A and B are shown apart, each in its own frame.
Chain A
Amino acid sequence: MFDKVKEIICEYVEVEPDEITEESRFIEDLGFNSYDVMCMMGDAEDNFDVEIDQEEAVKCKTVGEFAKYLGGLADE
C-alpha cells in the first residue's frame, strides 16, 4: 500500500520515491498545495477502488497516515 501511494505521489510532485517516507508531510515536506492533495486523493480512490470521505482524508497530514487510511478502506 505504502509503495503504491508513493507511486501516485510522484505523479504530483517532483520528488524521488526514495525521498518519501511514512513521516513525509504532504504540504510542508513534499510541496503539495491543498488542490494537489484533493486531486491526488481522487486518483487514489480510483487506483485502490475505494470511496474516500474527503473530510476524513484531508485530516491525513503524512503519507503514512494516508496509506493507513486507505488500507482501512480497502479492508472494509
Chain B
Amino acid sequence: MLKNIGGITRECYPLTPAQLVHIYTLKYSPTQEIVNIGTGQYLQTKLNVAALREALNRAVERCESMRMRIWKDPQTGEMWQYIEPYQNEFFEYYDFSEWQEDKVTEVLTKWTSQPFDTFGGKLSRIVIVSLPNGYNGYYFNVHHACMDSGSVIAFAKDVMEIYSSLLYGMPYPKPMTSYIDSIKKDFEYEGSRKQKRDEEFWHKQLELPEPIYTDYRGKKKLLEFREQSGNPEQRWGMLTSSNGDGATITYELDVDSTNKILDFAHEHDLPVSAVILHAIRTVLSKFNDNETDVTIRDFVSRRSTVLNKKCGGVRMHCFPLRTIMPLDTTVLDSMNIIKKAQEELFIHADYSTLKYMAETRERYGAAPGSSYHSMNFTYQPATLNSVVPYLKDIGFKSRWYSSGKQPQPMYITAMHRPGDGGLNFFFGYQKDCATPEEIEFLYYFTGRVLFRSIENPDKTIKDIIDMT
C-alpha cells in the first residue's frame, strides 16, 4: 500500500506476526533497548578499513531488511514498514587494539544499551573496530523487529564473503534474497490451507486439560502466585520485572563434553536440542515435586527455504513445548517424545505466536501476562565459521553483547563456539526473576542431569532425578 511519509511516497507493508512480538515487548517495557541485539564479528587478520567499509556497504545494499524502517501513521496509529533506498554510508572506525579486553566489552555493551527510535529511523548501527590481540571486524547493534539471530549470522556471512572477495579474490557471494518477497509470502499465509492446518493443530492442543506452571526455582513460586491471587487451584504463573533489567551469564562447555552430547544425539538419531531439552525438562520436573506435565517455550527460526534463509528480517516464532510424561519413562523415550513434540511444533510454527498466547489465556481463563512456562530455550547450530568454510583457517570470534535489559525472565540459548565448536550456554535473565547464584545452580544441575541421562539412556526419569 502506498503511503505518504514525510512528503515521500513509500510502498508500505504491514508488520508481520514475528515483528509484532517485539512491538508487544516494547509496549510492556519501560525502556526501548530491550529489543536490541548487539554482536561483534572479528577476524584475527590485518584490517583493511576501506575494504571492510566497502563490503559493509555492499552487504547493506544487498539486504533489504537492513534498510527496513517502521512508520506509525499519526492519524490511525497503524504500523507499517517500508524499505529505504540504499545510500552509501561512512561507517565509523574505532581502534581499541591497545585497550584491555574487558574495557572494550564495557564500551560495546554500553553502545548496545543505546535505544533505537522504533518509529523514527534507522534500526541498526555498524562500527568498524579493532580489538586487542590482532582481532579486527565490526560491531553491530540492531533492533529485533529488524533482524533475529539467524539474519545476523546470514548478514555477517555476506559481509565476510564480500570482504574476502574484495581482498583475496574469493568468489563473490550469490545475492541475498528479497525480504519483501519473504513477507509477502507471510501475508499469503493468512487464510491459506496451511494456516487452517496449523490452527487445527494448535486448537487441538487447547483441548487438553490446563497445563501447570513449573518454575526453575521450584514449586514454591507457584504457591506464591496462588497466595497472591487467593486462588489455591491456580495453575499459571506470572513472572514479571519492574524494569526489565537483565544480564546474560555465559557458561562454556568443554569440547569433550560437547562431543559426548553430539555423539549421543547422532547415535540415537536425535536432534541436539531434544537432548538438551530433556535435561531442562527433567530439572523442572524435579524442582517441582516430580511434576509430569512440563512446558518450556521453544523458539523456531522458520528459515527452511532459500528465500527465508537469505532474506534477513525477523522470522522467529515461539510456542510452548508441552510434554506430559510419567516418571517411569526412560531417558531415550523422553528424548524421542520431545523430538516428536518439537517436530510438530516446527511444522505448525507459522501460526501467530501472539494469537496463540491470547487463545491460551482465553481457553484457560488465565490473566494477561501469565504463562505456564518459566524458561525459554533455543538451540542455534550455525556459527559463522560453519557457514563460511575458509574462516576455519583464520582466527575468528563472534561476540554477543547485552543491552542490560532482557525481554524474557529466563532464556537459555545453546550455541556452538566459533573455533573449537564447544557449546556455549547463554543464560539471559531478568534480575528481578533470578540471581546469579540461582542461575549457576540451575546450570550445574542441568549439566548433571544431561550427562547422567546420556550415560544411562535406559534409566527412567525417576532414576535420573534420584541420581542427581
Taken together as a complex, chains A and B put the C-alpha atoms of A39 and B198 apart, in Å, by 13
Residue in A12, A14, A35, A38 whose CB lies within 8 Å of B174? A14
Q: Is the CB of A46 within 8 A of B346?
A: no
> Which chain A residue shows the least CB distance to B302?
A39
Question: B residues 263-321 with Cβ under 8 Å of A?
Answer: 271, 304-307
A13 in the interface (beta carbon within 8 A):
yes
Q: Can you name the residue of chain B whose Cβ is closest to the Cβ of A37?
A: B304
With A14-B174, A42-B194 already in contact, the answer to whether A35 and B346 are too (CB < 8 A) is yes
Residues A36 and B193 in contact, CB atoms below 8 Å apart: no
Q: Which residues of A from 12 to 41 have beta carbons under 8 Å from B? A: 12-14, 33-36, 38-40
Is B101 on the interface with A (CB-CB < 8 A)? no
- Selected from A38, A39, A54, the residue in CB contact (under 8 A) with B305 is A39
**Residues in B lying within 8 Å of A, measured CB to CB:** 174, 193-194, 271, 304-307, 343, 346-347, 381
Q: A34-B271, A42-B194, A46-B193 are in contact. Are A11 and B343 (CB under 8 A)?
A: no
Ordered by A's residue number, 22 sampled pairs between the chains whose C-beta atoms are within 8 Å are A11-B305, A11-B306, A11-B307, A12-B304, A14-B174, A14-B306, A33-B381, A34-B271, A34-B343, A35-B304, A36-B304, A38-B343, A38-B346, A38-B347, A39-B304, A39-B346, A39-B347, A42-B194, A42-B347, A46-B193, A46-B194, A54-B347
Q: Count A interface residues, CB 8 Å.
A: 15
Of the listed residues B271, B305, B307, the one surrounded by the most CB atoms of chain A closer than 10 A to its CB is B305
Contact A54 B304 (CB under 8 A): no
Sorted nearest first, the 3 A-B pairs with minimum C-beta distance are A39-B304, A36-B304, A11-B305
State in angstroms the CA–CA spacing of A54 and B343 once bound together: 10
A40 touches B343 (CB 8 A): no
Contacts of B271 in A (CB 8 A): 34
Q: In the complex, A34→B266 CA distance in Å?
A: 13
* 9 more CB-based (< 8 A) A-B contacts, given A12-B305, A34-B343, A46-B194: A11-B306, A11-B307, A12-B306, A14-B306, A33-B381, A38-B343, A39-B346, A40-B304, A54-B343
In whole angstroms, what is the CA distance A54 to B347 when docked?
10
Q: Which residue of B lies closest to A51 (CB)?
A: B197
The residue of chain B having its C-beta at the shortest distance from the C-beta of A34 within the complex is B271
- Collect the chain B residues with CB atoms within 8 Å of residue A13's CB: 306
> Complex Cα distance A39/B193, Å?
14
Across the interface, name the chain B residue whose C-beta is closest to A33: B381
Q: How far is A12 from B343 in the complex, measured between Cα atoms in Å?
A: 18
Expressed in whole angstroms, the Cα–Cα distance for A57 and B194 within the complex equals 18
Distance in angstroms between the alpha carbons of A13 and B303 in the assembled complex: 11
Q: How far is the CB of B201 from chain A (nearest CB, A)?
A: 12
Chain B positions within 8 Å of A42 at CB level: 194, 347
Chain A residues whose CB sits within 8 angstroms of the CB of B343 once the complex forms: 34, 38, 54
Chain A, 37-61, contact with B by CB distance < 8 Å: what is the 0/1 string?
A: 0111010001000000010000000
Please give me the residue from chain B that is nearest to A38 by CB atom.
Answer: B347
The chain B residue with its CB closest to the CB of A36 is: B304
Give every chain B residue within 8 A of A34 (Cβ-Cβ): 271, 343
CB distance from B98 to the nearest CB of A (A): 42
* CA of A11 to CA of B194, assembled, Å: 17
What is the minimal beta-carbon distance from A32 to any residue of chain B, in angstroms?
A: 9
CB-CB under 8 A from A35, the residues of chain B are 304, 346
CB distance from B18 to the nearest CB of A (A): 16
Tell me the smallest distance from the CB of A68 to a CB of chain B, in Å. 22
Bound complex: CA A40 to CA B306 (Å): 11
Most buried by A among B271, B304, B306, B346: B304
Q: What is the bound-complex CA distance between A46 and B197, given in angstroms? A: 11
CA distance A39 to B346 in the complex (A): 8
Residues from chain B with a CB closer than 8 A to the CB of A36 are: 304
Most buried by A among B194, B271, B306: B306
Determine how close the nearest CB of chain B comes to the CB of A46; give it in whole angstroms.
Answer: 6
Question: What is the CB-to-nearest-CB distance from B369 to chain A, in angstroms, rounded to a whole number?
Answer: 31
Q: Which residue of A lies closest to B192 (CB)?
A: A46
A38 to B307, CA, bound (A): 16
Residues of A within 8 Å of B194, CB to CB, are 42, 46
Within the assembled complex, what's the spacing in Å between the Cα atoms of A54 and B307? Answer: 24
Q: How far is the CB of B175 from chain A (nearest CB, A)?
A: 11
Complex Cα–Cα for A57 and B343 (A) = 13
Contacts of B381 in A (CB 8 A): 33
Residues of B within 8 A of A54 (CB): 343, 347
A36 to B271, CA, bound (A): 13
What's the Cα separation between A38 and B381 when bound, in Å?
A: 17
Q: Which residue of B lies closest to A15 (CB)?
A: B306
Q: In the complex, what's the smallest C-beta–C-beta distance from A5 to chain B, in angstroms?
A: 15
Min distance, Cβ A14 to any Cβ of chain B, angstroms: 6
Closest B residue to A8 by CB, please name it: B305
